[in-house]
Amino acid sequence: YGAPPHGGMGIGLDRFTMQLLGVDSLRDVTAFPKVKDGSELMSECPAAVDDAQLKELHIKITE
């Protein structure tokens, strides 16, 4: 998990805004939320995985 890219200025404005507005969820004040399919637009995650990577890690995908 960890912090999103912030250039060293991750000062917690999202949490301050959450407290200021009196909302219960951080998702209500997040500037760059994930979209419906679960992808993250800034870091382009999740990324596709090569078959070679799966083989190296001994991961088998079944349908």
Residue with tokens 């190296």: 56
Token digits for 26? 């951080």
DSSP 8-state code for residue 45? B
Q: What residues of the chain score a pLDDT lower than 50?
A: none
- Predicted confidence at residue 22, as pLDDT, reads 94
- Predicted confidence at residue 9, as pLDDT, reads 64
Token digits for 60? 């088998």
Q: Three-state SS for 56?
A: helix
Side chain identity at 40, as an amino acid letter? E
pTM of the model: 0.37
Report how far residue 43's alpha carbon sits from residue 26's, in angstroms, rounded to the nearest whole number.
19
30, 42 contact by CB (below 8 A): no
